[in-house]
Amino acid sequence: MVSGLAGEHSETGRKMSIMRIVQVLIRESDREHPLTQQEILDYMEEKYGMTVSRKSVGRNLSRLKEAGLPVMCREVSRVVNGKESSLSLDWYWDHELSREDLTVLIDLLYFSHLPYQQVRQLSERLKKLQSHTFEDGKENVRNLPSSQKWSDPAGTVAILSRALAEKKQVSFYYDHYEADGKRHHDCTVSGEPRLFKASPYQITASDGEYVLLCSLEGSEEISAFSLAFMAEVSLTEESLRPQKSLKGPDQDGKLSDYLYAHQEIYAGAPVTCTFEANWHLMSFIVRDFGKNAHILSARQDLVVVEVTLPAAAMKAWALKHAPLVKVTAPSYLVKEVKETVDGLYRLYGQP
């Protein structure tokens, strides 16, 4: 600790003074809360027991700014003894992450399914990247942790990222769980573990899950694989097949449109679907589909809606809200839903 004006004239005192000024600016100031030189002096004495001259603070602030640190101020002109000069006012630290940036990042933490304590710890660390005046207002908010936790001990993400960067194909097995509770490779018709070979195009992350979009060897369509079930992923020496060379409908499709995320991830080319729904579902329609939903007609008890998304997602949504939803197009989806409903009827039998 350096106290008294004499201390600031030593080399150690000057270095300590500059360091404390930086600490004060980082923790006490931002664009919306600039500090005067007197306020900086007061904070230095109050928090660090350091007493320095106002002239020294002004000199060190200028040095920090000239050195390229994110120290900002407001310059005003003044006339002293008939000569015009510049006066530096309202000093603050220009934080790399704005308040809006931090709010978005902290919201993402709370929307995640990480353990609550981890969310709180990470959010507190993020808040320290701004001045102490930043508050997220989430002291009484709890996120909803998930029991599903995926780790990447085999470095699958890194291998696939390298394949994308080098434009190479990959090989892998795809697993599933059986009644013994253990993972098993998917098999061919002959019962042998099936080794997939694919040209990767994109890794998509959503709600704790990574999904690979690729084209399998010999296929003309886009396929989706959850990285959590991929095993023994290897990079090959063969160049990947460009997406534009596919002969299927996915040739020029946007990969961002191929996956649809709502509670679960659904894969498939987006198709135009229409359905009839009880008006009580309007809140769910707006929440789940947003501007993607178009009301074709409406009456007091029924709405007809058009939405574009993978057929699997539409089917899952309709079954979730049955019997208040009736899918009316496309015809093959109507057939699929009907077959599923018939299967449920056979499973549960007549009441």
Q: Where are the domains of the chain?
A: 5-93, 96-149, 156-265, 271-348
Question: What pLDDT is recorded for position 185?
Answer: 95
Question: Which CATH number applies to 5-93?
Answer: 1.10.10.10
Q: How many CB atoms lie within 10 A of CB 199?
A: 22
Question: Which CATH number applies to 271-348?
Answer: 3.30.70
Q: Tokens at residue 269, please?
A: 């080319």
Question: What pLDDT is recorded for position 291?
Answer: 87
List, in order, residues 6 or more apart from 343 with CB less than 8 Å away.
none
Q: Tokens at residue 50, please?
A: 């350091």
Number of residues written out for the chain: 351
Question: What pLDDT is recorded for position 86?
Answer: 81
Question: What pLDDT is recorded for position 11?
Answer: 67
The model's pLDDT over 304-328, given as tens digits with 9 standing for 90+, comes to 999 999 999 999 999 999 999 999 9
pLDDT over 70 percentage in the chain: 94
pTM of the model: 0.69
Residue 254 has pLDDT above 90, yes or no: no
Taking CA atoms, 205 is separated from 49, 172, 195, 227, 348, in Å, by: 49, 19, 24, 10, 37
Question: What pLDDT is recorded for position 2?
Answer: 42
Question: What pLDDT is recorded for position 350?
Answer: 66
The model's pLDDT over 51-99, given as tens digits with 9 standing for 90+, comes to 888 899 999 999 999 999 999 999 988 777 778 878 899 999 999 999 9
Q: Are 72 and 92 in contact (CB under 8 A)?
A: yes
Cα 207 to chain centroid, rounded:
8
The model's pLDDT over 178-209, given as tens digits with 9 standing for 90+, comes to 888 889 999 999 999 999 999 999 999 887 78
Taking CA atoms, 90 is separated from 61, 269, 273, in Å, by: 11, 55, 58
Q: Which is it for strands 168-177 and 183-185: parallel, antiparallel or unpaired?
A: antiparallel
Tell me the average pLDDT across 104-126: 91
The model's pLDDT over 133-178, given as tens digits with 9 standing for 90+, comes to 898 888 889 988 876 777 887 899 999 999 999 999 999 999 998 8
Tokens 């009839």, located at residue: 276
Tokens 């992923």, located at residue: 233
